Amino acid sequence: MTIEGKSLEHFYGREQVLKGVDVTIRPGEFVAIIGESGSGKTTLLSILSTLLHPTHGEVRYEGKGLDALGNIDTFRRRKIGFVFQFHYLIGYLTLRENIALAALAEYADQIDPLMERLGIERLGGRYSDEVSGGERQRAAIARALINRPRVVFADEPTGNLDTKNALGVYELFAQFSQEGTAFVVASHDKKITEFADTIIEMEDGVVKKVITR
């Protein structure tokens, strides 16, 4: 799914945090949006992922504006996955139950194979407070991927992980992107640039540089 953001501007009150940003996300692309805190990267990610409407400008998904997508909840569930800095797993559900809760009926038989691929199948019966931070984040990644979305958006997905686990997450993103799922990741961690196909550097609400490999 190609996603195009055109002339994106956004204000929080009187503070302008995006200043005329143009960006294109291509199918299967691993895009890293990097920048310091306050650069606008999280706001851009939120707008591209349909979670936030821009003050000005528009986002198009395969050439269609947001209003032409139909039920936005259905669109998100079938086309988009989300991974956040905090895993947001439901504490009273096991890891497997968290993933199953997100799964559409046609993908229910993919839960165990996906968990196995992510190295957490043996932990399926455990709760989030019984596993490590890296294992929790892998469960959150499985939840995001279970419905085979066209694109996964991730906001600081390694912010609470050590270097080894952070690199493991980036490696997973790279592997799945090679299989056709695009990843758009906002991060201040420059290690991500070793894995991404395209790097968007942001500063003070504008795109300062785009590097494509």
Per residue in 139-176, pLDDT (tens digit) is 999 999 999 999 999 999 988 788 888 899 999 999 99
CA distances from 7 to 14, 21, 67, 81, 137 (A): 18, 5, 18, 25, 33
Residue written as token pair 């992107």? 177
Sign for the pseudo-dihedral over CA of 91, 92, 96, 99: negative
Strands 30-34 and 15-25: unpaired
Assign domain 30-37+72-212 to a CATH class.
alpha beta
Q: Each residue of 102-138: pLDDT tens digit? A: 999 999 999 999 999 999 999 999 999 999 988 998 9
Q: Each residue of 47-82: pLDDT tens digit? A: 999 999 999 999 999 999 988 988 999 999 999 999
Q: What angle do CA 136, 80, 198 make, to 5 degrees?
A: 85
